[in-house]
């Protein structure tokens, strides 16, 4: 069985990834992909946004609600450090 892999024509620059991260973190509510595209300070291609969102989801910084497509920022390194100091054991 062959798995289809979408070819990425170009990867986003770091400043673009950081721009999307900040927009998600500072959003007053949980944006959808379409709303996020509208509020970004500079325009990016939709395919670029999808690559960035895939990266953020893989690195456990965001969750995308499957019901309504809302994007939730979940990364909180300070809280993770507190939990590790209390004895949380992380396994992969």
Question: What integer pLDDT is reported at residue 38 of this predicted model?
Answer: 96
Is 91 domain-assigned?
no
Residue 35 structural domain: 14-85
Instruction: Let me know if residue 4 belongs to a domain.
Output: no
Within-domain flag for 52 = yes
CATH code of the domain in which 45 resides: 1.10.10.10
How far apart (Å, rounded) are the C-alpha atoms in residues 8 and 16?
Answer: 16
Model confidence, pTM = 0.79
State the pLDDT at residue 4: 54
pLDDT, residue 92, reads: 47
Residue 7 domain-assigned? no
Cα distance between the two ends of the chain: 27
Counted domains in the chain: 1
| Domain presence at residue 54 | yes
Whether 36 contacts 73, CB under 8 Å: no
What are the pLDDT tens digits along the chain (92 aa)?
A: 455 556 777 899 999 999 999 999 999 999 999 999 999 999 999 999 999 999 999 998 999 999 999 999 998 888 878 877 888 665 54
Is 5 among the domain residues?
no
Looking at residue 62, what is its pLDDT? 93
Measured distance CA(30)–CA(65) in Å, rounded? 10
């Amino acid at each position: 069985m062959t798995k289809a892999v979408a070819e990425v024509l170009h990867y986003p620059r770091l400043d673009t990834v950081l721009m999307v991260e900040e927009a998600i973190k500072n959003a007053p509510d949980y944006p959808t992909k379409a709303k996020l595209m509208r509020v970004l300070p500079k325009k990016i291609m939709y395919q670029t946004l999808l690559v960035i969102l895939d990266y953020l989801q893989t690195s456990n910084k965001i969750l995308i609600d499957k019901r309504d497509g809302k994007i939730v920022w979940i990364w909180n390194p300070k809280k993770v450090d507190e939990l590790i100091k209390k004895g949380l054991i992380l396994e992969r």
